[in-house]
């Protein structure tokens, strides 16, 4: 996955001084911010897609570009990956010393939403026509996004002391804590929601009758 993730330009509290429990790095303010971004990016995507006709859903500007259906399928599959990554990586060893030394500005991860560089979807998240209807597409995305929101809301795991690793070529995504990793998926959703808006603005996009 060549840098496939996003961003809002908001200052985020970093460290144990913003409503955090003793010994914890992940603050309650950060948890609330993450939940709010997961919820708002979900609403924005659904609002752009839920009223589309079948013709609009499957319209492709050209053979090299995805349809809205393909974009949503890609997002849905990626959301399932996020769900399982968070569940599994809560059991990795805590690394508080690394959390102290390896701090990065969370805005770097949110910024992927508007990054002009083109990403490349990993083969396992390519749209394959897994779903027949718009309702099935949105239900699959919402199922896992809702699970992620519930997990983030309830987990006792400190998202700042568990890390996910990628090859060094991944740049800022080489080593990220679970909070930043999840912000990346928020940005990924926003990035592709913008892609949906661009598809809908194409000259040949079918009109509702």
pLDDT of residue 209: 60
Lowest mean pLDDT segment, chosen from 12-16, 49-53, 111-115: 12-16
135-171 burial code (b ≥16 CB/10 A, e <16): eebbebbeebbebbbebbeeeebbbbbbbbeeeeebe
Name the strand (E) or helix (H) holding 195: helix 178-200
| 8 compared with 176, residue with greater pLDDT | 176
CA angle, 126 then 132 then 136, to 5°? 85
Write out the two tokens for 147. 């699970």
Question: Rg for the chain (alpha carbons), in Å?
Answer: 18
Handedness of CA 105, 113, 27, 148 (dihedral sign): negative
> 201 phi and psi, to 5 degrees?
-90, 0
Confidence of residue 15 (pLDDT cuts 50, 70, 90): very low
Asked if 151 and 86 count as a contact pair (C-beta separation under 8 A), the reply is yes
**Tens-digit pLDDT profile for residues 182-194:** 999 999 999 999 9
Judged against a pLDDT cut of 50, whether residue 2 lies above it is answered with no
pLDDT of residue 132: 83
Confidence of residue 16 (pLDDT cuts 50, 70, 90): very low
**Tens-digit pLDDT profile for residues 118-168:** 777 776 778 888 988 999 999 999 999 999 999 999 999 999 999 999 898
What homologous superfamily does CATH list for 28-200?
A: dinb family like domain (1.20.120.450)
State how far the Cα of 171 lies from the Cα of 60, in Å rounded to an integer. 32
Instruction: Tokens 């990016």: give the residue.
Output: 41
CA angle, 86 then 109 then 80, to 5°? 30
79-88 burial code (b ≥16 CB/10 A, e <16): bbebbebbee
**Tens-digit pLDDT profile for residues 84-103:** 999 999 999 999 999 988 77
Instruction: Tokens 């890609």: give the residue.
Output: 74
Instruction: Name the DSSP letter for residue 161.
Output: S
**Tens-digit pLDDT profile for residues 194-205:** 999 999 999 999
Handedness of CA 9, 165, 192, 189 (dihedral sign): negative
State how far the Cα of 9 lies from the Cα of 106, in Å rounded to an integer. 9
pLDDT of residue 48: 98
pLDDT of residue 171: 84
């Amino acid at each position: 996955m060549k840098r496939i993730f996003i961003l809002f330009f908001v200052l985020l509290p970093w460290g144990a001084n913003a409503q955090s429990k003793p010994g914890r790095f992940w603050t309650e303010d950060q948890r609330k911010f993450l939940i709010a971004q997961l919820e708002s990016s979900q609403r924005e995507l659904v609002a752009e897609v839920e009223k589309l006709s079948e013709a609009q859903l499957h319209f492709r500007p050209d053979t090299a570009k995805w349809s809205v259906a393909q974009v949503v399928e890609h997002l849905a599959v990626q959301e399932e990956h996020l769900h399982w990554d968070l569940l599994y990586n809560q059991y990795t060893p805590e690394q508080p010393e690394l959390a102290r030394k390896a701090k990065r500005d969370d805005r770097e991860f949110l910024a992927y939403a508007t990054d002009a560089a083109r990403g490349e979807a990993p083969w396992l998240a390519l749209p394959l026509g897994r779903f027949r209807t718009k309702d099935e597409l949105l239900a699959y995305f919402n199922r896992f996004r809702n699970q992620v929101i519930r997990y983030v809301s309830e987990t006792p795991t400190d998202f700042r002391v568990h890390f996910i690793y990628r090859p060094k070529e991944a740049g800022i995504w080489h080593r990220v804590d679970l909070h930043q990793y999840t912000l990346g998926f928020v940005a990924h959703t926003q990035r592709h929601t913008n892609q949906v808006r661009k598809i809908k603005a194409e000259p040949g996009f079918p009109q509702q009758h």
